[in-house]
């Protein structure tokens, strides 16, 4: 069993739909990261959160520490949101090591 | 803006060659990381460094070594490239345990 698991692995949506990607982790963490990777592109950090909720534009990330679960929501999805979304658990050291989930491939059709 | 650059976007090498992949960051970050990314396997940590000349093995260090002589530069070395090292290699840096900044990646093909 992976220490960080994401679901679903693949997600297809129509433009405008509300999207949720889930992440469960079994390791102790200091923070949970959400990353985005566009096809052929590099990886960018979307959120780093250790409690509650964060919002940036149409993206919202939530975390429930007790349940060891985080979600990434995209409101009013758009084809440019098509990408791989990766959650990663950060440990408590200053080294910044991350344990990655397998990623969720999101495709948004116009 | 934080910038992490990698020496090549695409690289083709022959089996047995010694391969150097270089990564440079411009934000004075202490931590630097080398990952490989393969379909179905996600991101896997090869090595990381938390200071100049300091390094730690990640999850898959076999066949690789690293060098960090200057704070801004972290090199990944494939001592004798093999076909199973064909992959996308990504470098990242971070300040302490905060968000990691990734380079654009090097797609290495070993023939």
Taking only the tens place, the pLDDT of each residue in B59-75 is 999 999 999 999 999 99
Tell me, yes or no, if B48 comes closer than 8 A to chain A by beta carbon.
Answer: yes
The secondary structure of B56-69, three-state, reads EECCCCCCEEEEEE
Taking only the tens place, the pLDDT of each residue in A89-110 is 987 666 788 999 999 999 999 9
Q: Kindly report the nearest CA distance between residue A43 and chain B, in angstroms.
A: 6
Average pLDDT over chain A reads 92
| The pLDDT value given to residue B54 | 93
| Alpha-carbon dihedral angle through residues B60, B61, B64, B70, given to the nearest 10 degrees | 120
Contact A45 B101 (CB under 8 A): yes
| The pLDDT value given to residue A96 | 81
Instruction: Name the strand (E) or helix (H) holding A86.
Output: strand A83-90
| The pLDDT value given to residue A95 | 77
| Helix ranges (DSSP H) in chain B | none
Taking only the tens place, the pLDDT of each residue in A4-47 is 999 999 999 999 999 999 999 987 788 999 999 998 778 999 99
- The number of C-alpha atoms within 13 Å of B54 and in the hemisphere containing its C-beta is 9
Of A42, A96, A101, the CB nearest to B98: A96
Measure the CA–CA gap between B100 and A61, rounded to whole angstroms: 17
Across the range A56-70, mean pLDDT stands at 95
Confidence of residue B43 (pLDDT cuts 50, 70, 90): very high
Contacts for B55-64 with beta carbons within 8 Å, 24 or more apart?
B56/A95, B58/A97, B58/B33, B58/B34, B60/B36, B64/B34
| The pLDDT value given to residue A55 | 97
Tell me, yes or no, if B46 comes closer than 8 A to chain A by beta carbon.
Answer: no
| The pLDDT value given to residue B29 | 93
Across the range B43-47, mean pLDDT stands at 95
| The pLDDT value given to residue A92 | 65
Across the strands, what pairs with A99? A89
| The pLDDT value given to residue A28 | 77
Contact A103 B42 (CB under 8 A): yes
Q: What percent of chain B has pLDDT over 70?
A: 98
């Amino acid at each position: 069993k992976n220490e960080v698991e994401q679901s679903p692995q693949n997600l297809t949506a129509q433009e405008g739909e509300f999207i949720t990607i889930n992440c469960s982790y079994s390791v102790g963490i200091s923070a949970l990261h959400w990353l985005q990777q566009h096809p052929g592109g590099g990886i960018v950090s979307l959120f780093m959160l250790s409690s509650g909720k964060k919002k940036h534009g149409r993206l919202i990330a939530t975390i429930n520490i007790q349940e060891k679960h985080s979600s990434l929501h995209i409101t009013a999805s758009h084809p440019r949101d098509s990408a791989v979304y990766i959650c990663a658990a950060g440990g408590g050291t200053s080294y910044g090591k991350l344990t990655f989930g397998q990623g969720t491939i999101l495709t948004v059709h116009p | 803006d934080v910038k992490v650059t990698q020496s090549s976007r695409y690289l083709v090498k022959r089996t047995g060659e010694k391969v150097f992949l270089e990564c440079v960051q411009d934000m004075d970050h202490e931590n630097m990381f080398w990952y490989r990314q393969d379909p179905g396997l996600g991101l896997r940590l090869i090595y990381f460094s938390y200071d100049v000349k300091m390094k730690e093995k990640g999850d898959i260090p076999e066949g690789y070594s690293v060098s960090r002589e200057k704070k801004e530069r972290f090199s990944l070395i494939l001592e004798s490239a093999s076909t199973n090292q064909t992959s996308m290699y990504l470098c990242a840096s971070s300040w302490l345990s905060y968000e990691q900044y990734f380079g654009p990646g090097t797609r290495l093909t070993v023939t």
